[in-house]
Amino acid sequence: MAWVKFLRKPGGNLGKVYQPGSILSLAPTKGLLNEPGQNSCFLNSAVQVLWQLDIFRRSLRGLTGHVCQGDACIFCALKAIFSQFQHSREKALPSDNMRHALAESFKDEQRFQLGFMDDAAECFENILERIHFHLVPNSDTDMCTSKSCISHQKFAMTLYEQCVCRSCGASSDPLPFTEFVRYISTTALCNEVERMMERHERLKPEMFAELLQAANTADDYRKCPSNCGQKIKIRRVLMNCPEIVTIGLVWDSEHSDLTEEVMRNLATQLYLPGLFYRVTDENAKNSELFLVGMICYTSRHYCAFAFHTKSLLNLNIPLELGHGYLLLIELFFL
Ligand SMILES: [Zn+2]
Ligand SMILES: [Zn+2]
Ligand SMILES: [Zn+2]
């Protein structure tokens, strides 16, 4: 089991935070069935992670009013599966209704169709986006400020990008946008770790966010807005304080030999301000997030891992209102 290996790995950052015995923090939960030919593991993983997030699960429970899409209603399908998680006596549940709703909902785009494998991170993002449209159908996802939209209230990072030239002082118009997942290249991440080692700095867990930011902006040079000839780095500024921050680690090639290195450098804490050039929200300035869930991909199969809030509390890890971060990562075990 990948996560167990991960925790036992000598020198792994996870081992330092989660002491022996923390294996027990693997919460026993109900599985979701994935019969041969269904290829539903990408969807099951996304659903499992959402179910395990206390703040999402509880918020969804309190919501009823939505614009229903019948057979294609992701909101209803997710509600139904959550209710089964809570009340069913079965150890493993079928996710067929959710699979059908997703396929129906994305029929026109030919995405997430029955029997076909798909990407768990994109599935996770699209579930959140569809829930937004079921709750606030007339609002653009980039402009959503609705208090009832759990997707944006809990997961959205509200950002703007801007180029500021250090040489001539010119700056580009700030470009605002929101996103549910920040994608970062694993190769760039490993390069940043190497650069840090060359500077003889020791990798501390709180530096993880800064490494991610450096990896995210490395080699991403833009032209000076007033064309003074200077090449400048993009600045990303976070304007809100998301309760759940999701990082998607992407590989640049199908067969990467960086798996071990990436694993060694993952941390279970994410100091939110380190992830961006600047954060403007007062709460975000001190926000320290703990890893609460992970979706991994290995040998053409997705699996999800989550830490139970109770287990985290047992380990004396403070959980401020259930804030946390999620890692969506494709790891090539075996
Ligand atoms: Zn519905
Ligand atoms: Zn929304
Ligand atoms: Zn310039």
pLDDT (tens digit, 9 = 90+) per residue, 35-82? 989 999 999 999 999 998 888 998 999 998 999 999 999 999 999 999
| CA–centroid distance, residue 79 to ligand 2 (Å) | 17
Weakest-pLDDT range from 12-16, 65-69, 301-305, 322-326:
12-16
Residues annotated catalytic, as ranges: 41, 301
Q: What is the distance between the alpha carbons of residues 4 and 8, in angstroms, rounded to a whole number? A: 6
Q: What is the distance between the alpha carbons of residues 97 and 95, in angstroms, rounded to a whole number? A: 6
Residue with tokens 């500024």: 237
32-155: in CATH 3.90.70.10: yes
Range among 20-24, 49-53, 204-208, 238-242 with highest mean pLDDT value: 238-242
What's residue 18's pLDDT? 41
pLDDT top residue among 276 and 6? 276
Domain range list for the chain: 32-155, 179-215+241-333
What's residue 28's pLDDT? 53
Instruction: Name the token pair of 296.
Output: 């991994």
| CA–centroid distance, residue 63 to ligand 2 (Å) | 14
Residue 245, strand partner residues: 325
| CA–centroid distance, residue 129 to ligand 2 (Å) | 7
Structural contact between residues 19 and 11, judged by C-beta atoms closer than 8 angstroms? no
Asked if residue 8 has pLDDT above 70, the reply is no
pTM of the complete model:
0.85
For residue 138, the ligand closest to its alpha carbon is 2
Closest CA to 264 of 326, 317, 205: 205
Residue 230 CA to chain centroid, in angstroms?
34
Average pLDDT for 323-333: 64
* Side chain identity, residue 280: T
Closest CA to 148 of 69, 68, 65, 47: 65
Closest CA to 325 of 157, 96, 133: 157
Which of the four pLDDT bands, split at 50, 70 and 90, describes residue 308? low
List CB contacts of 149: < 8 A, sequence separation 6 or more. 131, 132, 135, 136, 139
Q: What are phi and psi of 56, to 5 degrees?
A: -75, -50
| CA–centroid distance, residue 99 to ligand 2 (Å) | 22
Q: Do the strands 288-298 and 221-223 form a parallel or antiparallel pair, or are they unpaired?
A: unpaired
Average pLDDT of the residues of the chain: 84
Which of the four pLDDT bands, split at 50, 70 and 90, describes residue 17? very low
For residue 144, the ligand closest to its alpha carbon is 2
Q: What are phi and psi of 180, to 5 degrees?
A: -95, -30
What's residue 314's pLDDT? 54
Closest CA to 102 of 69, 146, 58, 136: 69
Average pLDDT for 104-110: 94
pLDDT tens column, 183-200: 999 999 999 999 988 988
Instruction: Name the token pair of 80.
Output: 């139904």
What's residue 12's pLDDT? 39
Structural contact between residues 296 and 249, judged by C-beta atoms closer than 8 angstroms? no
What's residue 20's pLDDT? 38
| CA–centroid distance, residue 277 to ligand 3 (Å) | 19
- DSSP conformation class of 275: G
For residue 133, the ligand closest to its alpha carbon is 2
Asked if residue 23 has pLDDT above 50, the reply is no
Residue with tokens 């959710």: 98
